[in-house]
Amino acid sequence: MPQQLVDKNAEGRDARQYHIGIAPGEVGSVALLPGDPFRVPLIAEFLTDVREVAHNREHRTMTGLYKGKLITATSTGMGCPSTAIAVEELARVGVTSFIRVGSSAALQQGIEPGDLLVSEGALRNDGTTAAYVHPGYPAVPDLSIALELRRTAERLQTARGGFRVHSGINASDDAFYAEGPEWIGRLSGMGILNVEMEASALYVVARLRGLRAGMVCACSSNLVAGASLYDEKNARLKDGWVRSIEVALDTAVALDL
């Protein structure tokens, strides 16, 4: 019998999606993307008319209204592979813009846990995007989203204080525990602002599919200033999560994503 090779990109486009469990018409045009499924309800606290749409594997989705706009929140899980799947499948059911809200470790002095980190681009130290594009292909956010995230974060900082806003290039790594002192030092020496595990896949997939994406994270630790995930200072991280969510939501409304 002749081979019948499956084209995954052509399969299931009008169906309930295999991994995220969502069908067309169940979400809005913009999605906030935390990594942790237990942070999706944290986003829902800002919304009205909240509905849980699906929770399959690491992908939990809730929707609701924020200042009259329908917002979707879907967790990606940890790392680029599951992030790429979430973005691909959310795009199939109607999402056109994405804002990642998560945690990230700082790589420059002067950044404290709870500060906000706005991404201007990502160093692609992952395997997933290598399967999509040439090694030299850039991983960059939508310019309008990145600029509005920065402006909105600065307005929030002016109004409330207690944290600072930083923007720059982040690194997206695959192996959390392989980030030893030598690698951390190299990244810091290149002027990389922070390191996380999802942005490069988000940006590359979004660009390839004609979508818009950005990222605002809360600083969880500072890897060049001795502030680890296990320090008491990390109690400020939840405050940072809340701030990052508010910034992302106001950006979605301001740009009518």
pLDDT bin (cut points 50, 70, 90) of residue 214 is: very high
pLDDT score recorded for residue 105: 96
Handedness of CA 189, 157, 142, 20 (dihedral sign): positive
pLDDT bin (cut points 50, 70, 90) of residue 14 is: confident
Residue 204 has pLDDT above 80, yes or no: yes
Q: State the average pLDDT for the chain.
A: 95
Residue 59 has pLDDT above 80, yes or no: yes
pLDDT score recorded for residue 234: 66
Task: Give tens-digit pLDDT for 75-100.
Answer: 999 999 999 999 999 999 999 999 99
Q: For residues 106-112, give the mean pLDDT.
A: 96
pLDDT bin (cut points 50, 70, 90) of residue 226 is: confident
Residue 245 has pLDDT above 80, yes or no: yes
pLDDT score recorded for residue 236: 86
Task: Select from 138, 188, 194 the least CA-distant residue to 166.
Answer: 194
User: Dihedral, CA atoms, 247, 249, 252, 254, nearest 10 degrees?
Assistant: -70
pLDDT score recorded for residue 1: 67
Residue 40 has pLDDT above 90, yes or no: yes
Q: 85 and 103 in contact (C-beta within 8 Å)?
A: no
Q: For residues 112-127, give the mean pLDDT.
A: 97
pLDDT score recorded for residue 125: 98
Residue 66 has pLDDT above 90, yes or no: yes
pLDDT score recorded for residue 2: 78
pLDDT score recorded for residue 232: 60
pTM above 0.85, yes or no: yes
Residue 107 has pLDDT above 80, yes or no: yes
Rounded CA separation 206/195 (Å): 20
Which residue would you say has higher pLDDT here, 13 or 143?
A: 143
Name the token pair of 131: 């399967």
Sequence-distant (≥ 6) Cβ neighbours of residue 7 within 8 angstroms: none
pLDDT above 90: percentage of residues in the chain:
89
